[in-house]
Structure 1
Amino acid sequence: MRRKLLSFLLAATMVTGCIGLTGCGNKDAADADSAAQSSDAGSENAGEDAVANLIKSTKDTVKLTVWASEEDQDLTKSLLDKFQKEYSDVKFNIQLGKESESKTKDDILKDVDAAPDVFAFADDQINELVKAGALQEVVADYTYDVKSENVAGSIEAATVDDKLYAYPMTADNGYFMFYDSSVFSEDDVKTLDGMVAAAKKAGKKIAIEASNAWYFYSFFKGAGYDLSLNEDGSNTCDWNGDGATDVAQAIIDLYKSGIVVNLNDAATVTGIKDGTVAAAVNGTWNAKAASKAWKKNYSACKLPTFTVAGKQVQMASFSGCKLVGVNPRSKFVGWSMLLAEYLTNYDAQVERFNQRELGPSNIKASESDEVQSNKAIAALASQAEFAAPQRVGNNYWSPVETLGKKLADGNPKGTDLQKLLDNAVAGITAPVEDSAK
């Protein structure tokens, strides 16, 4: 296997801005640098040499702090125990803390120096973490080649300015359609028109949370309108361009049917359980509730098309991954990188799927029969070609939530649709400093 170990000392110097890693308090800096140099000749045993050098050069107790979500505590603890047994020649003191992947960035940026050595986070936080110097570039592959063993989308999500800054852990943080197959046929779920007709006949609802900007993205992006993040953290958006009012009207028409309903996650699950909701645009986190309620009738697919000005348009989506990062200020950067690899390697991702049904980013793991037979994961895979990583500035969320709610409510004040979109885009594309006002 190809081992790409660049000069760790040089790279870490660039990331932390220190003259040398030892000057930053990194006790295993020399070990990591030695590991990098051991692979310069492209030896097949480079990875083994890197680990051996790290072990040989470690004299003190390796003290590490790791953050994982509350749901991932048991699995992470098990993996940490196995990691310490595998490297039993070294004495470890590893502390495991609880932290939601959705909040990691906010808490780390309060004090990067006090942040954990290794931590899990959602990929949409990566730009701000890199900008703050809170992520160590992945310049060393100790036990496997991170780039070649994970799906391309997860590597893209872990990359900033062509540099890899994190280790992909899952590739399932997106959304799709799950449905009750006793209500909808496979042909019905190809289009929202077909789904609305079938649901109306059965007296059921279809939950799509228009007032959630994450889901609402599906409509305008699917219709060919763009949204992108600028270097200064502001957004570029053309959702008020030519023909965009047709998209807005299409959304109004969908919700006016009374069949497509604007429900949040909690209300969606309640509706599934009480039998009123027979389909939902949602993610793996609620797929279990749907599977339990609909039993053998539970099914899932990519997002359907919807009608815009008489034409069928494929709904788009945000794709997402969960990543593991390493703090460049860690006193044990080399060990932190090795542990990050361990927590995200093939075996760990298989175990994470087995225990929590989280979709692997590891290519081999994602191609297993068990993963492929999981309906939610298969639906995400089908949606992948219509999905894009979530890269938006903070000014995106509030204006879009407001727009989505107004359209789902049928534009009750009768505001001119072009004006409605112009106002939303003005908020989305506002200069970054405006977000603090």
Structure 2
Amino acid sequence: MNCAILAQQQIKARCAVLATKGEDIMKKQLSLAMAAAMALSLAACGASQSGSAAETASTSDATTEAAASWGDVTLTMWGAEEDQTMLREMADAFIEENKDKGNITINIGACSESDTKDNILTDPTAAADVFAFADDQLNELVAAGALQEVSLNADDVKSRNLEGSVEAASLNGKLYAYPMTADNGYFLYYDSSVISPEDAQTVDGILAAAAAAGRTFDMTINDGWYIYSFFAGAGLQATLAEDGVNTVCNWNEEPGADVAQAIMDIASNSAFVCASDADIVSGIENGTVCAAVSGTWNANVAQEKWGENYAAAKLPTYTLNGEQVQMSSFAGYKLVGVNPHSANVGVAMMLADYITNEANQQKRFEVRNLGPSNINVNASEAVQAAPAIAALAAQSDYADLQRVGTNYWDPAASLGQILVSGDTQGKTTQQLVDDAVAGITAPVAQ
């Protein structure tokens, strides 16, 4: 299609959206949207924004003349608390590169990727323009009309990111977000001065070594994300139903009751602590924790505390009916989305594209040890040599893309809390998993 025609169509589409919203938009704001749409259309026709670290030198030289002035642009970007300084640096770099186009203001707000969906859906019209979120939230955000489709440079985004991350950012063949990381999973961290590589292979070995050292093995069991590892490892299922809303779960089938008992046995060990992520971090820092199940976001903490003794591995096996069973895990990705209700959708998409490009994914790895979804960065020697990334790769053979309905989380967490406390209130383990499955598979209210 001719670039000019495509640009005109994008401008008309943007104007139509603005008109249908019934917003009282000043001419300057409308001009901004038109300029951004034109810029993106021309970029799609004539300029690639991927390929090497040099891509961050400019969002697209080809768009400079067409988008000579964006006017006054104010955007809000949400990201994890731990990423605030890094996001500020990225935003400032974006502003500097585009300072000739207008007065650009980017406000940074803290929002955990796990909470993004809930915060966005409270009021999409008042939410951030650009936001990071976990990939399992994509379906609901799309259904609520809270994600802008990535259409103009979709092929470019797909070509520079790992296939799995692109799949996680897509729905019904359409790309709705920019892949940011490929590390939203969990594995085992351990202090090798206490836990040997052989010990790290089994929960029993870890607990024995931790007890001998007067330290602890920590894991968050009262959480649906982590308790999944025991049941999935035993061959049981918890996944999204075909309707894309409800959950299919058979944890109450054989050997589900025995899995529940195995979890209770682990939790009752004096060297085990069921701890939140924040408490795991504190435990590593104060020296009480020598092994923990967590993700790449805590790599820096473990590395700084344990130094040359810092080690990571796939999840261990656990004892189930006298046999060793490999723990499984959820796997996922972190994505960046754009709010279609933004008054500056075009510029917001350029910002989202910018903060997820090759050089900024390299920056995330260097600053936070986060695993990149960008193909080039992921293949780099430094990334491949990182203990946390290597452990995540080893765990990937026993990991499933996280896809469950909204009714999964609370019953799964409640089951974990009961098993950790040991207070079954007189119920058998079979009754406990029956109750959990009943809640997990309950129809989602629509």
Q: TM-score, normalised by structure 1?
A: 0.85
Structure 2 counterpart of 1:156, which letter?
E
Counterpart Cα distance in 2 of 1:271 and 1:345: 35
Alignment of 1:146-295 (within 5 A): 146-230=157-241, 231=243, 233-295=245-307
Determine the C-alpha separation between the residues in 1 that align with 2:422 and 2:115: 34
Give the equivalent residue in structure 1 for 2:34.
27
CA distance in 2, matches of 1:106, 1:158: 18
- SS state at 1:113 partner: helix
Say whether the 8 Å CA contact 1:395–1:427 is kept in structure 2: yes
Asked whether the equivalents of residues 218 and 275 of structure 2 are also in contact (C-alpha less than 8 Å), the reply is: yes
* Offset of residue 166 of structure 1: 0.5
Other-structure match for 2:25 = none
Residues 319 and 389, structure 1, Cα contact 8 Å, conserved in 2: yes
In 2 relative to 1, CA 163–185 (structure 1 residues): closer, same or farther, beyond 3 Å?
Answer: same
Alignment partner of 1:145: what SS? helix
Give the SS at the match of 2:270.
coil
Q: Structure 1, residues 248-283: CA drift from partner, whole Å, max 9, x if none?
A: 222222223333332223333343344432211112
Comparing 179-188 and 203-212, the one that deviates more: 203-212
2:62 maps to 52
- What is the distance in 1 between the residues matched to 2:413 and 2:34? 47
* Contact 1:170 1:360 (8 Å CA) reproduced: yes
**Aligned in 2, Cα 1:89/1:52: closer, same or farther, shift over 3 Å?**
farther
- Kindly state the Cα deviation for residue 181 of structure 1 after the two structures are TM-superposed: 0.7
Shift of 1:232: 5.7
Cα separation, 2, equivalents of 1:11 and 1:396: 40
Alpha-carbon distance in structure 1 between the residues aligned to 2:379 and 2:270 = 40
Query: After superposition, what is the alpha-carbon deviation per residue over 1:307-345, rounded to whole angstroms, capped at 9, x for unaligned?
Result: 222332221112232211112233443332222111110
* 1:120-176 deviation digits (Å, cap 9, x = unpaired): 22223222211111111111228x821121122322221222321101112223211
Q: Secondary structure, in 3 states, of the residue corresponding to 1:183? A: coil
Deviation at 1:61, TM superposition (A): 0.9
Helix, strand or coil: the match of 1:360?
A: coil
Instruction: Give the one of 370, 374, 380 matched to 1:368.
Output: 380
- Read off the aligned partner of 1:381 and give its amino acid letter: A
Residue deviations 1:8-42 (CA, integer Å, cap 9, x gap):
888999xx9x89456456434751674388369xx
Q: CA deviation at 1:57?
A: 5.0
Q: Do the aligned residues in 1 keep the contact of 2:91 with 2:106 (CA within 8 Å)? A: no
Equivalences for 1:289-328 in 2 at 5 Å?
Answer: 289-328=301-340
Paired position in structure 2 for 1:333: 345
1:432 matched to which residue of 2?
444
After alignment, is 128-137 or 264-273 more displaced? 264-273
Report the CA distance shift for 1:256/1:84 in structure 2 as closer, same or farther (over 3 A).
closer
Q: Is the counterpart of residue 38 in structure 1 residue 45 in structure 2?
A: yes
Equivalence for 2:392: 380
Give the Å deviation of 1:49: 12
- The answer to whether structure 1 residue 65 and structure 2 residue 101 are counterparts is no
Note if contact 2:36-2:347 (Cα within 8 Å) is conserved in structure 1.
Answer: no
1:289 offset after TM fit, Å? 3.1
Shift of residue 347, structure 1, vs aligned partner: 0.6
Flag the 1:363–1:240 CA change in 2: closer, same or farther, 3 A.
Answer: same
Residue matched to 2:122: 110
SS of equivalent residue, structure 1 residue 354: helix
Structure 1 pair 94/285, CA: closer, same or farther in 2 (3 Å)? same
Question: Structure 2: how far apart are the matches of 1:396 and 1:114?
Answer: 28
Q: Which residue type is aligned with residue 261 of structure 1?
A: V
**In structure 2, what is the Cα distance between the partners aligned to 1:12 and 1:154?**
30
- Which amino acid letter does the alignment assign opposite residue 83 of structure 2? D
C-alpha distance in 1 between matches for 2:187 and 2:44: 45
Counterparts of 2:70 and 2:285, CA distance in 1: 54
Shift of 1:227: 1.0
Task: Identify the residue that residue 389 of structure 1 maps to in structure 2.
Answer: 401
Which TM-score applies when normalising by structure 2? 0.83
Query: Do the aligned partners of residues 30 and 272 (structure 1) sit closer, same or farther apart at CA in structure 2, a change above 3 Å counting?
Result: closer
1:125 partnered with 2:137: yes
| 1:177 CA displacement | 0.5
Q: Aligned partners of 1:194 and 1:265: how far apart in 2?
A: 22
SS at match of 2:101: coil
Q: Which amino acid aligns with 1:196?
A: L
Partner of 1:406: 418
Q: Which runs of 5+ in 2 are unaligned?
A: 21-29
Gaps of 5+ in 1: 1-5
